[in-house]
Amino acid sequence: MLGQRPITTIKVFDAEVLAAEGVALSPVIDLREINQNNNFSLEYTSVGTGTLEIKYLVCSTKGGTYLDTGTALGTTLAAGSDLIAFASGEPFLAPFMKIRIEEDGDANGITVTARLNVQ
């Protein structure tokens, strides 16, 4: 539509298997050209009996140290599918991002597929 910016969808995890208490980081997401309106959402599907926590990390340089903002997009997420909208004012302004997933149930594994939507 005229005057609207397109939405970019990036697959950040593709059937990523997390053991109990396992952690995985997405590849670097370069936001410099795709983040125009600061609108973000994350769509995920998970299978297994574990629970999931999803966070985002940001950095001002591609190869730098990515900072945990302390903001969980979702915690103790059971197996299933959902679309999580970022809160107003999130994510913190930065040119580079990674998505962090963790099995936070301490007992069982989980398999995760996730896509980040950016406008």
| CATH (domain of 36) | 2.60.120.1110
- Domain of 64, in residue numbers: 11-118
pTM (two decimals)? 0.91
**Residue 91 structure tokens:** 């994510």
In a domain, 22, yes or no: yes
Strand partners, 41: 85, 117
In tens, the pLDDT along 58-96 reads 999 999 999 998 888 988 888 899 999 998 888 999 999
Of the candidates 22, 29, 17, the residue with the CA atom closest to the CA atom of residue 116: 29
DSSP tag of 77: E
In tens, the pLDDT along 27-64 reads 999 999 898 888 999 999 999 999 999 999 999 999 99
* Peptide bond connecting 91 to the previous residue in cis, omega within 30 degrees of 0: yes
Q: Sign of the C-alpha dihedral, residues 97, 29, 90, 15? A: negative
In a domain, 102, yes or no: yes
In a domain, 6, yes or no: no
Confidence band, pLDDT 50/70/90 cuts, at residue 3 = low
In a domain, 47, yes or no: yes
**Residue 109 structure tokens:** 């594994």
Cα(29)–Cα(26) distance, integer angstroms? 8
Please check the confidence at residue 1 and state whether its pLDDT lies above 60: no
